[in-house]
Amino acid sequence: MNLLSSEQFISRRSPVVSTRGLVATSQPIATLTGVDILKGGGSAADAAVAAAAVLQVTQPCSTGLGGDCFVLYYCSERRSVEALDGSGRSPRALTAEMARSAGFVDRLPPYHPYTVTVPGAPAAWMDAHKRWGRLPIADILQPAIEIAERGFPVSPLTAGWWEERARRTLSRHRHGGELMIDGRGPRPGEVMRLPNLARTLRTLAERGRESFYSGEIAERIVAAVREAGGMINMSDLGEHESNWVDPIRIEYRGCHVWECPPSGHGLAALLALNILKMSDFDGLPAGGTDRFHLLVEAMRLAFADAGSYIGDPEFTDVPLSGLLSEEYAELRAKTISMKRAAESPLCGDPASFASAGGDTVYFCVVDTEGNACSFINSNYLGFGTGIVPEGCGYSLQNRGYGFVLESGHPNCLEPGKRPYHTIIPGLSTDAGTGLLHSAFGVMGGMMQPQGHLQILSALIDDGLDPQAALDRGRFQLEQGSPDGDLLVEDSLSEDLREGMKRRGHRLKVLSALERKTFGLGQIIVRDPDGVYWGGSDPRGDGCALGLY
Residue 494 has pLDDT above 90, yes or no: yes
φ, ψ (nearest 5 deg) of residue 240: -70, 140
Q: 371, 73 in Cβ contact below 8 A?
A: yes
pLDDT digits (tens, 9 = 90+) for 509-527: 998 888 888 989 999 999 9
Residue 2: pLDDT band (50, 70, 90) is very low
User: Cα(92)–Cα(83) distance, rounded to whole angstroms?
Assistant: 26
Residue 9 has pLDDT above 60, yes or no: no
> What is residue 182's DSSP assignment?
T
Residue 53 has pLDDT above 50, yes or no: yes
Residues labelled as active-site residues: 360
Average pLDDT over residues 146-172: 93
In this predicted structure, what is the pLDDT of residue 515?
85
Burial label, 233 (beta-carbon count in 10 A; 0-12, 13-18, 19+):
middle
265-358+448-546 placed in CATH 1.10.10.10: no
Element housing 43 (H / E)? none
Please give the share of the chain, as a percent, with pLDDT higher than 70: 96
Burial label, 456 (beta-carbon count in 10 A; 0-12, 13-18, 19+):
buried
Look over the chain and give the mean of its residue pLDDT values, rounded to a whole number: 93
In this predicted structure, what is the pLDDT of residue 252?
96
Average pLDDT over residues 288-303: 95
CA distances from 258 to 24, 170, 320, 367, 437 (A): 19, 36, 14, 19, 11
pLDDT digits (tens, 9 = 90+) for 312-351: 999 999 999 999 999 999 999 999 999 999 988 888 888 7
pLDDT digits (tens, 9 = 90+) for 192-234: 999 999 999 999 999 999 999 998 999 999 999 999 999 999 9
Residue 191 has pLDDT above 90, yes or no: yes
Q: 442, 362 in Cβ contact below 8 A?
A: yes
Lowest-pLDDT range, 130-139, 374-383, 441-450, 478-487? 478-487
Higher pLDDT, 382 or 136: 136
Q: 412, 387 in Cβ contact below 8 A?
A: no
Average pLDDT over residues 527-540: 94
Torsion, Cα of 108, 113, 115, 120 (10° steps): 180
Residue 6 has pLDDT above 50, yes or no: no
Residue 357 has pLDDT above 50, yes or no: no
Average pLDDT over residues 262-287: 92
User: Cα(247)–Cα(74) distance, rounded to whole angstroms?
Assistant: 11
pLDDT digits (tens, 9 = 90+) for 423-478: 999 999 999 999 999 999 998 889 999 999 999 999 999 999 999 999 999 999 99
In this predicted structure, what is the pLDDT of residue 273?
97
CA atoms within 13 A on the CB side of 364: 35
Q: 50, 141 in Cβ contact below 8 A?
A: yes
CA distances from 525 to 251, 364, 450 (A): 17, 10, 19
CA distances from 519 to 67, 83, 158, 273, 277 (A): 18, 23, 14, 19, 24
In this predicted structure, what is the pLDDT of residue 76?
97
In this predicted structure, what is the pLDDT of residue 359?
61
Residue 353: pLDDT band (50, 70, 90) is low
User: For strand 507-510 and strand 486-489, is the pairing parallel, antiparallel, or unpaired?
Assistant: parallel
Residue 5 has pLDDT above 50, yes or no: no
| Prediction pTM value | 0.94
Give residues with Cβ within 8 angstroms of 518, minimum separation 6.
444, 447, 451, 474, 475, 476, 487, 489, 510, 539
Average pLDDT over residues 104-122: 96
Domain with CATH 1.10.246.130 in the chain: 265-358+448-546
Per-position b or e across 70-93, b if 16+ CB within 10 A of its CB: bbbbbbbeeeebbbbbbbbbbbbe
Handedness of CA 464, 468, 470, 471 (dihedral sign): negative
In this predicted structure, what is the pLDDT of residue 356?
36
